[in-house]
Amino acid sequence: MGPTSRATPYWYEDRDVVGMLEALRTFRRADQDMRARLSAGMHMNVTDLQALRFVIAAENAGEVATPRGLATHLHISTASTTKLLDRLTGSGHLAREPHPSDRRSLVVVATDHAHEEVRERLARMHERMAEIAREVPVDARPAVEDFLVRMAAHLDTEGDVPPLRPAPRRPAAPTTSG
Amino acid sequence: MGPTSRATPYWYEDRDVVGMLEALRTFRRADQDMRARLSAGMHMNVTDLQALRFVIAAENAGEVATPRGLATHLHISTASTTKLLDRLTGSGHLAREPHPSDRRSLVVVATDHAHEEVRERLARMHERMAEIAREVPVDARPAVEDFLVRMAAHLDTEGDVPPLRPAPRRPAAPTTSG
DNA sequence: CAAAGTATCTAGCCTGGCTAGCAATAAGGA
DNA sequence: TCCTTATTGCTAGCCAGGCTAGATACTTTG
C-alpha cells in the first residue's frame, strides 16, 4: 500500500494499461454502432454495406469483384451471396456483368449512384479519421500501430476450439442407430 | 516530388497515419472473428455470449441484471430478450430469480458452470491482452488511449442521418396532415 | 383508489443466413 | 481429343434470431 522507491509503482503502470484496454473496447463499440447507423441510413443491412464497399474498393484498385470473391470476403455462402446480389442490384447499387474470361462467373460492378452515395457518406468520416490519426504525436505512432497489430495477431490465435470439452455433439456420423 | 529540407516530408507522416488506420481495421476484423469463433465454440450466438458476459460483469460489480437492462445493453427488444433468456436458461448458463423489490421484474443470474466456462475461456486471453498493453512504451500510452478514445468519440458522431435526405420518415409528431 | 406507466411473456411475422442439388463451364489427364 | 472432376452461380426450401402487437401483473402517480 505504501509508496516505494520506484518512480512509477506497479499500480500506476496498470492504470495506463487498463485505460488502453478500456479505450479499445470503447472504440470497438463505437465502430459497431456507427456501422449499424450507417447501413440503416442507407436502407440496407450491415453485410450488404460491407459488400458494397468491397466492390467499390476492388474497382478503385483496378480489380474485378466476383460473387465468389464476395462470398469469401464476407464469410457467407455463395447462395447467400446470390440473394445479397439480388438485393443490391434491386436497389440499384450493384450490377452483374459478364466475366471477360470465365463464362461460368460474372463481374460485379457498383453503379454510379452507389459510388456517389458511399463517397458522400464516408469521405468526410475518413478525412476526419486521418485527421485524428495525424494528431497522434509522431514519435508515438509506431507504438500505436504496433499495439493494434499485435493485439489483432493475438486475437487471431484466441477463441478457437475449447481446451476442455471434446466437441459435445456431431449431428452427422451415425454409429449405432438409424 | 524531390526531397526537401525537412527531415520528415509530408508523405512520411502520412505513412504513419495510413499505418495506424490500417492497424485499426486489422484489429476490428480480428476482434470480430474472435468473437464469432468464441461464441461458436460455446455453442451460442454472438449476442448470447455478449449477454452472458454482461450478466457476469454485473455480478462481479455487485449489481443485479434484469431482462430490461439486458435488452437495453444489447439493443434488442424485450421480446427478443425473453427468447434469449429461454435459450440461455435452457443451456444451463443463466437462471431467472425473483426480483427482490420489483415483483414485475426478475433478476438474471449466471450459473456456476457459466462463470467457470467464461473464466476458463477468457482469463488467458485477457491476461495476454494486458501483457500486450504493458509492452507499449510508457510514454506512448497516453497517446494510444487518446487516439482510441478520440476515434470512438468521432465515430459516435458519424453515420447518423444522411446529410442529404431529409430524414425519410418520422412516424410520430404529426404536424399538418392527419 | 383509479389511471397511467412499466416489466415480462406469448403469438406470429420477416430477414438473412444455411444446405442440397442443378446446369454450365473450366481444367486436367489418358 | 475426350472423359472426368472441380468450380461457379443459381434455385428451393429450411431455420435462427430479430421484430411488433397485445396480454397480464405489478408499480407509480394524481
Any domain includes A104: yes
In the prediction, which pLDDT does B41 show?
Answer: 94
| Burial category of A103 from C-beta neighbours within 10 Å (exposed 0-12, middle 13-18, buried 19 and up) | exposed
In the prediction, which pLDDT does B158 show?
Answer: 84
User: Hey, what long-range contacts does A166-171 have (CB within 8 A, 24 or more apart)?
Assistant: A168/B43
Q: Among residues of chain A, what percentage have pLDDT more than 70?
A: 83
CA distance A89 to A96: 8
Any domain includes A136: yes
Domain of B120, CATH number, reads 1.10.10.10
In the prediction, which pLDDT does B159 show?
Answer: 78
| Other beta carbons less than 10 A from residue B159's beta carbon | 22
Any domain includes A160: no
Whether the pLDDT of residue A7 is over 60: the answer is: no
pLDDT digits (tens, 9 = 90+) for A96-107: 999 999 999 999
Q: Structure pTM? A: 0.84
In eight-state DSSP terms, residue A109 is E
> Grid coordinates 451460442 are at which residue?
B44
Across residues B76-88, what is the average pLDDT? 98
Residue A41 touches chain B, beta carbons under 8 Å = yes
Whether the pLDDT of residue B96 is over 60: the answer is: yes
Overall number of domains in chain B: 1
* Domain extent for A116: 15-152
Binding-face residues of B in 147-176 toward A, CB within 8 A:
147-156, 158-164
Name the residue of chain B whose CA is nearest to A39's CA: B159
In the prediction, which pLDDT does B173 show?
Answer: 37
Whether the pLDDT of residue B171 is over 80: the answer is: no
Residue B46 touches chain A, beta carbons under 8 Å = no
Any domain includes B9: no
CA distance A104 to A84: 19
Whether the pLDDT of residue B49 is over 50: the answer is: yes
Any domain includes B173: no
Identify the H or E element spanning B95: strand B94-98
Taking the C1' atom of every nucleotide in all shown strands and the CA of B103, the nearest one is: D26
* Chain D bases near protein Cβ (<7 Å): 7-13, 16-22, 25-28
| pLDDT band, residue B160 (cuts 50/70/90) | confident
Which of A69-73, B13-17, B111-115 is the least confident region? B13-17
- How is A38-58 classified by DSSP, letter by letter? HHHHTTS-HHHHHHHHHHHHH
Any domain includes A9: no
Helix, strand and coil content of chain B, in percent to the nearest 5, comes to 60, 5, 30
At A88, is the secondary structure helix, strand, or coil? helix
Any domain includes B44: yes
Q: Measured in angstroms, what separates residue A15's CA from nucleotide D18's C1'?
A: 39
pLDDT digits (tens, 9 = 90+) for A81-95: 999 999 999 999 999
Any domain includes B157: no
Closest Cβ opposite residue B152 in set A21, A26, A160: A26
